Amino acid sequence: MKDFYFKTLVCALIACLLPTLSNAQQNIPVNPVNIPINFYGKVIDQEGKPVVGAKVNLEVQANYFDENRSEQKQFPLETDQNGNFTLTGAYGAIVKVLSVEKEGFELTKKVKRGYSYTLPAEFQPDPNNPVVLKTWKQQGKEPLAHSLWHGKVVCDGTTNRFDLISGRPSPEGNLEIVCVRTPLKSPPPGNGRFDYKFEITVIGGGIRPAQDEFTYLAPEGDYSKSLTFSQKADDPKWDSKIPIPKEYYLKTADGHYGMLFVDWYAAQNSPTHLEWNISINPSGSRNLER
């Protein structure tokens, strides 16, 4: 009987202590906003070679939500002989890549700019696996022929032709764009889906989507006469964002290389807005630096 009462007393004491332990744990900053910052980076060119002496400007932001304010501090750095740079001893919540500069080099537009250190951290710095920032080492810009067009087109299967060099609509043009949207008008509320098809052709030449980090050197081959993108309204994977590539390499009938940017607002009623922008190297070179 004495053992029973003793065990009961011990259990009661433990039960009294548990809330105290729990409250103590709640005072531990499990999700601190600002922490010590270390950042490790590496700058390379399009061939993967290190870029020495590049000026890197980082910004560290500290957030003070209880005071409804934030502070930013910039840290100018420079890459070493291996293209590496390191930031240590800072304090905050977010690191931003403001710029990477060296004459004759251009930072990719696809670079990730922000890295969050707020716990649970989205980003874990690693000196053995630095953040890689890609740049393009310019080969020497050449004069490019530019043309652009923007306006309304009917999405009923009508063939729209444009002259690649002048940028003007022309029945004899060598750029052909056809768009189809069904229905032409927005459907009743509650059913926003529609069929669409977008076809783009370079008459006598070729076209291919540009998915490279940089689009300054047109590929030699693997061009198609035309490209078609479509989607049915009843497709279970139907995407309202209309996943159609906007950048393309092109090759004209006379062997000139270029870059084409196209934007088509399929979600709008027909006629809808269409715009394109083209740069072509008239020398026949694949160099598209601009």
Rounded to whole angstroms, the Cα distance separating 290 from 107 reads: 13
Q: Concatenated DSSP letters for 56-77?
A: EEEEEEEEEGGGTEEEEEEEEE
Q: Give the pLDDT score at 29.
A: 43
Terminal-to-terminal C-alpha distance of the chain:
92
Helix/strand/coil for 63: strand
Contact status, residue 280 vs residue 252, Cβ threshold 8 Å: yes
pTM, whole model, 2 decimals? 0.73
Contact status, residue 168 vs residue 213, Cβ threshold 8 Å: no
Handedness of CA 203, 208, 213, 216 (dihedral sign): negative
Rounded to whole angstroms, the Cα distance separating 172 from 152 reads: 19
- The mean pLDDT value of the chain amounts to 86
Judged against a pLDDT cut of 90, whether residue 91 lies above it is answered with: yes
Judged against a pLDDT cut of 80, whether residue 168 lies above it is answered with: yes
Contact status, residue 177 vs residue 184, Cβ threshold 8 Å: no
Q: How far is CA 78 from the centre of its chain?
A: 25
pLDDT in tens, 144-153: 999 999 999 8
| Number of neighbouring beta carbons within 10 Å of residue 200 | 24
Q: List the chain domain ranges.
A: 35-137, 145-280
**Residue 60 banded pLDDT, cuts 50, 70, 90:** very high
**Residue 191 banded pLDDT, cuts 50, 70, 90:** low
Nearest C-alpha neighbor of 156 from the set 183, 130, 175? 183
Tokens for 87, please give them: 């930031």
Rounded to whole angstroms, the Cα distance separating 115 from 147 reads: 38
pLDDT in tens, 113-140: 999 998 777 788 999 999 999 999 998 8
Tokens for 133, please give them: 């920032």
| Number of neighbouring beta carbons within 10 Å of residue 30 | 9
Rounded to whole angstroms, the Cα distance separating 56 from 162 reads: 43
**Residue 178 banded pLDDT, cuts 50, 70, 90:** very high
Match domain 35-137 to its CATH number in 2.60.40.1120, 3.30.540.10, 3.20.20.70, 3.40.50.620.
2.60.40.1120
Residue 234, phi then psi, degrees to nearest 5:
-90, 10
| Number of neighbouring beta carbons within 10 Å of residue 177 | 20
Nearest C-alpha neighbor of 223 from the set 245, 254, 201, 246? 201
Q: Give the pLDDT score at 187.
A: 63
Please name the residues in contact with 21: beta carbons below 8 A apart, sequence gap of 6 or more. none
Judged against a pLDDT cut of 60, whether residue 55 lies above it is answered with: yes
